[in-house]
Chains A and B, each alone.
Chain A
Amino acid sequence: MGPDSAPGPAVPWQKVLWEHQPFPDNYVDERFLEELRRNVGIRQYQYWAVVKEAGFVGQQLSCVAIFITLWLYMEQGLLPPELLLLTSLVCALLGYGLHQALKSQVESSCEPRTYMADLQSASIFLSFTFGFSPVLKTLTESVSTDTVYAMSAVMLLAHLVAFPYAQPSPPGSLSLNAALFASVCLASRLPGALHTFTMLSCALLVFALWPCLLKRLRANAPRQFTGVCVGVCLGGVGGLGSQSPAGAVLLALALGGVTLLCPLLLVRLQRHKDNIHGPWDEAEIHEDISRFLQ
């Protein structure tokens, strides 16, 4: 009964409430906490596996760097928009081909989009962007250039933060919108309407279509995916290096931090992980309950 009553006879203590046991209420048996489990089902991380996954983050960082490099070239007039437009078109067609090729390897249960539908959306987008590019060009003219740069920087950062790295899907609406907003801001500082159009198409290629392709690549060709990531990272550093060596150094440092140092920290800090489990944990429902509703 109550705490600190005299200890009772030598009957074993039971972890039950229904029986009035001859032990005080605050009795602590040696079986106390025997059901405590530590670090159940913990994942042991392999360093290189984590680096490989982190490469995806680095790749996205480099994509932003490549986009900025292209903009820098355009702004200084070193890159004629026609050339970039042509290159983009070729890249888009190549990428589309690859995308279709990779699709055939997995059997798709849902109805595939037809070429017609793809062509239709591409033409709608291109014609609208082309038509509106003079408007977009002058959209932020009254805003000071510093503000535009700051806004673009914040938006690109938001794109990087909100990007759904965990499940490589087409970028989430927040991250894609942030990136497109940033590209509209930047494009408005370019000399002509064609430049603006080129920049926007390019942004769509880099921020919307490229992640889709990467998703396919990651699912179907993991080895090539790693190669592509490394390639993009190198391309980003190299491209930025041709315009601003200091920027390239910073980018390289950031990439090294994200892809090499952070995984190292994660693996090292795993040792200190101390997760407690026991009967008090909320049970998880593992089954798919929704099957009863289909």
Chain B
Amino acid sequence: MGQRRRVAAVNNLSSQHISGSPAEVVGDSSRKHNICMVSDFFYPNMGGVESHIYQLSQCLIEKGHKVVIATHAYGRRKGIRYLTNGLKVYYLPLQVMYNQSTATTCFHSLPLLRCVFVRERITVVHAHSSFSAMAHDALFHAKTMGLNTVFTDHSLFGFADVSSVLTNKLLTVSLCDTNHIVCVSYTSKENTVLRAVLNPEIVSVIPNAVDPTDFTPDPSQRPNDRITIVVISRLVYRKGIDLLGGIIPELCLKHPDLHFLIGGEGPKRIVLEEVREKYQLHDRVRLLGALEHKDVRGVLVQGHIFLNTSLTEAFCMAIVEGASCGLQVVSTRVGGIPEVLPDDLITLCEPTVRSLCAGLEEVIARQRSGSVSSPASIHARVQKLYTWRNVAERTEKVYDRVAGEEVLPLDRRLRRLRSHCGPVAGSIFAFVAVIDFLFLLLLQWLLPDRVMDVAVDATGPHGQWRQDTSKTRSHSKCAMKQAAKTEMFL
């Protein structure tokens, strides 16, 4: 019967609309924003960006903002869904091209995104991940529609090869008139400022966070007769799995009581399997395969040492999760990793087998002599470092700043594009911007804004989902199911 309550809520809102002008509804939210998060990456896909968007949205909803998420359709999951606490997700039917990123023509996503932005009365568009074509499209269209934009960059890029030269140019164009950029570490900020030729003043550093209640230590799970090293990462080249393949035999030969617990899946699994085969380490090196997020803690608490061998990393949530579970962390000194944990919680090594082995041996020796701090004390320190509430507070300030900025009119936008992105790319994208603007005019003529129904807010200052949570949750399930059915229909 959830629907009935929801539509009863619709009634209240609509009567309110009829009595007061719609402008008033938007106007009185002095410091409350209507935020649209756009990214190709969202649940059911799993990863760092996905959980970042979800957790940030939940905390912003808690703070009274209205948040909706726009992503592309995942298989049969298309249409409109509600998640916990009335977080509305638009799964738009856009064609996926490569690696869950949508194909981009710069234009075809405009009608749907415009519909979302207009009916939800969006004031700030927040795009995530430079790998997501949809995020870049949304930034571009939002500027055409005169909305303020924020972009969060989650990854590091090099400058050396042709593909990065091209993607960096595209990023330059895309971020050229984005109001504010958020990076997850100082290294990431330096990287983004260089790649997109930005003024560093409009780039904020807001780290990722970890839910500390999900990652609590449990020393009783650790076997006492051995030392276990835990590795949890996708088994791909960029995570340095080749280095791991060198470390395992080196250390296992020296320390007969050393065990490895490796979670994750990927093309480099074969390297680890070969090593295990060659050195007959089947009982000491366990490959657990792909782990679900909820199982990660169960694996982490079985170990004494957490090892991260990444070759590049913007922030690295994994080491924070490891430390939060009370493990000693050993990691390569790459990207933003040195900024993440204080020196006494992490042992940093160069990305070579020898250096990593030396670092691990040192930690093993400390572990043997018992001179390491207890898991509980490590957890107590880590749990305060990175929280989603803190991230949301700082992101909120970015929105406050952005909301006051003016959006450049078309002529100044074009001038800026040409002066900022070089004569060739600048002119091309200025042309694209003009076409986009004309396309928007056409759409506005075909379907004026006043004809579009204003969406019923589930979250935010006029949120209708302020009932007790347990009911809301069942409600959301209902709504989702219902949406699943109806999308088949239309």
Contact = CB atoms under 8 A, between A and B. Distances in A.
Do A and B truly interact? Answer: yes
B334 A283 contact: yes
Nearest to A23: B205
B219 interface: no
A28 B398 contact: no
A3 interface: yes
Contacts of A282: 156, 158, 238, 311-312, 334
A166 B211 CA distance: 52
A19 B156 CA distance: 22
Contacts of B249: 292
A280 B157 contact: yes
B275 interface: yes
Interface of A: 1-5, 15-19, 24-26, 28, 32-33, 35-36, 275-287, 289, 292-293
A287 B400 CA distance: 50
A43 to B, nearest CB: 14
A47 B274 CA distance: 47
B188 A3 contact: no
B426 interface: no
A33 B206 CA distance: 18
A278 B190 contact: yes
B245 A26 contact: no
B33 interface: no
Contact of A280 (B190, B207, B250, B394): B190
21 contacts: A1-B393, A3-B398, A16-B342, A17-B315, A17-B340, A18-B385, A25-B206, A32-B200, A33-B193, A278-B187, A280-B157, A280-B190, A283-B312, A284-B311, A285-B240, A285-B311, A287-B246, A289-B245, A289-B353, A292-B245, A293-B274
Given A25-B394, A283-B351, A17 B400 contact: no
Contacts of A292: 245-246, 249-250, 275, 278
A1 B158 contact: no
Given A18-B342, A281-B158, A285-B311, A28 B397 contact: no
A36 B187 CA distance: 10
B86 to A, nearest CB: 26
B191 interface: yes
A279 B354 CA distance: 20
B323 to A, nearest CB: 10
A18 B334 CA distance: 17
Contact of B202 (A17, A26, A284, A285): A26
A260 B207 CA distance: 53
A4 B158 CA distance: 30
B393 A287 contact: no
Contact of A287 (B187, B271, B278, B353): B353
Contacts of B327: none
Interface string B396-436: 11101100000000000000000000000000000000000
Most chain A beta carbons < 10 A, residue from B190, B194, B353: B190
